[in-house]
Amino acid sequence: MKLLIVGQLEGHISTAGRIATQRGAKVAHIDSVSGALNALRNGQGADLVMCDVVLNIAELIESLKSERITVPVVACGIGTDAGAAVRAIRAGAKEYVPLPPDADLIAAVLQAVAEEDATFIARDPSMQPIIQLAERVANSDASILVTGESGTGKEVMARFIHRKSRRAMNNFVSVNCAAIPDNLLESELFGHEKGAFTGAVARRIGKFEEANGGTLLLDEISEMDQRLQAKLLRAIQEREIDRVGGTQPIKIDIRLIATSNRNLEEEVKAKRFREDLYFRLNVVNVQMPSLRERPADIIPLAEYFAKKYAAANGVPNKPFAPTALALLQAHHWRGNVRELENTMHRAVLLARGNQIEAESIMLSGQSFAPEATPAALAAQLAASRTMSSQSSGQNAQGNLVGRTVADVERDLIIDTLQHCLGNRTHAANILGISIRTLRNKLKLYSESGVPVPPAAGEERAVS
């Protein structure tokens, strides 16, 4: 793990750094927010930033967001100033650590970040051949294509391969090709020189250079524009890149992993994806099964997410009631692990008593019923089983005959968005479409008078 500490902290900086180093972290120290931003722009990389609350944490976090530099920020400060802690959290800091530093507290923060990246639960027998394949190819430099439905854990698999490789001590850098507009993705990948285009206020190292010596993950690569596909192909073949506005090629040494929830062979046939790039990426194909194909993992994953969100929300971790376990096992999980994670987050917040009961589990398209009766819970369980059997092909077309494709698509999009509590990014991932496509469709629905769920709070602030 790479830790970047920002600020002076009246001499406590050396103590905090020493504790983190003893816990296995690589520590760098920079005095100012501007210095930290420059270091991150220039490819220094960090898994976690600890920043002194006397500095402008809001400016740091906003700059990271606007420049699409993804790294969690933890605030720290002298004493236990509650006001400073609140301001830091409101600015977007993940946590507040009081100083002088407590060794156990810093260790817990580092462990939380490490576990977020490292957790890979795979107990179902269907996952064992996949894990064995990943372990066999991990130490090579071969490009790997990880495929599967949205929400199956393709990025988790990519991180697993990186950790098992000889590059494990170097950077793992991830880029979501579907979340970045085409006109910005080139700069994101290859970097740019100062003044290369409007808004290029400083030189920026791209993800290829940031990942040098390590692994670069291109998530949802099927969303990449064909013009960029050609430039990516050259970078893979020649092992060198050109910054936007640059004059000299730059040599790179990376391991490339790409993911897609689409059938890339079909995308090639439809002329939406370059065939030569497909063969360059698909040296090894690791196919992630859907959650319904690995039923033995449903309960371990649910328990992991329940524990995670109990800790995140400051509530006791609770066991599952038998009816809740039966409900989870019976559900079809069309959104896969991502849907299960969201369901567990809600269940933790809604649970009453000493257990997570079935009435606390809101499945797709359902509303919370705090006074659910045993009969209602039985009906909920039966409905979940019916959904599962229908999705497997039994009577699947019963409710679709006589409806237009546009109507079915609209209902699917709205239902998925409601399930994701208005989060556009999660809904787009589950649906297997780009965030841009989703927003365009929602705009059309809204203009035609169809009620559209409001955006989640954070997205509303951004949009």
The pLDDT, as a whole number, for residue 373 is: 47
Sorting pLDDT into bands at 50, 70 and 90, what band is 113? low
Is the same domain home to 147 and 272? yes
Given 358, 391, 424, which residue is the final one in a domain? Answer: 391
25: which residues sit within 8 A by CB, 6+ positions away? Answer: 1, 2, 3, 110
Higher pLDDT, 2 or 257: 257
Q: Positive or negative CA dihedral for 86, 314, 307, 415?
A: negative
C-alpha closest to that of 442 among 405, 404, 414 = 414
The alpha helices in 250-373, defined as continuous H runs, are 264-269, 275-281, 298-312, 322-330, 336-350
pLDDT by residue (tens digit) across 227-265? 899 999 999 999 999 888 888 889 999 999 999 999 999
DSSP SS3 for 358: helix
Q: Is the pLDDT of residue 431 over 80?
A: no
Taking all residues of the chain, what is their mean pLDDT, rounded to a whole number? 82
pLDDT by residue (tens digit) across 446-461? 888 888 888 764 454 4
Query: What are the two backbone dihedrals, phi and then psi, of residue 141, each rounded to the nearest 5 degrees?
Result: -105, 10
Given 245, 270, 289, which residue is the final one in a domain? Answer: 289
82: which residues sit within 8 A by CB, 6+ positions away? Answer: none
Q: pLDDT over 70 for what percent of the chain?
A: 84
The number of angstroms, rounded, from the C-alpha of 19 to the middle of its chain's C-alpha atoms is 29
Is the same domain home to 266 and 312? no
Is the same domain home to 445 and 331? no
CATH of the domain at 151: 3.40.50.300
Is the same domain home to 275 and 384? no
CATH of the domain at 316: 1.10.8.60
Higher pLDDT, 4 or 130: 130
How many domains would you assign to the chain? Answer: 4
The pLDDT, as a whole number, for residue 267 is: 93
The Cα–Cα gap between 250 and 203 comes to: 14
The pLDDT, as a whole number, for residue 116 is: 57
Please report, in angstroms and rounded to a whole number, the separation of the first and last CA atoms in the chain.
Answer: 33
DSSP 271-288: TSS-HHHHHHHTTEEEEP
The pLDDT, as a whole number, for residue 264 is: 93
What's the pTM? 0.67
The pLDDT, as a whole number, for residue 171 is: 86
Tell me the mean pLDDT in the region 399-425: 75
The pLDDT, as a whole number, for residue 224 is: 92
Residue 245's domain comprises: 128-289
Q: How many CB atoms lie within 10 A of CB 446?
A: 11
The pLDDT, as a whole number, for residue 462 is: 44
Q: Is the pLDDT of residue 369 over 70?
A: no
Q: Positive or negative CA dihedral for 302, 303, 309, 315?
A: positive
Is the same domain home to 274 and 136? yes
Is 123 within a domain? no
Max mean pLDDT among 10-14, 301-305, 393-397 falls in 301-305
Sorting pLDDT into bands at 50, 70 and 90, what band is 428? confident
CATH of the domain at 458: 1.10.10
78: which residues sit within 8 A by CB, 6+ positions away? Answer: 9, 10, 12, 98, 99, 100
Q: pLDDT over 90 for what percent of the chain?
A: 34
Is 396 within a domain? no
Given 64, 95, 117, which residue is the final one in a domain? Answer: 117
Q: Is the pLDDT of residue 395 over 50?
A: no
What stretch of H or E contains 259? strand 255-260
Tell me the mean pLDDT in the region 70-74: 84
Q: Is the pLDDT of residue 8 over 80?
A: no
Q: Is the pLDDT of residue 354 over 70?
A: yes
Q: Is the pLDDT of residue 54 over 60?
A: yes
Of the given ranges (13-27, 154-168, 184-198), which has the lowest mean pLDDT? 13-27
Spatial contact of 64 and 41, defined as CB atoms under 8 Å apart: no
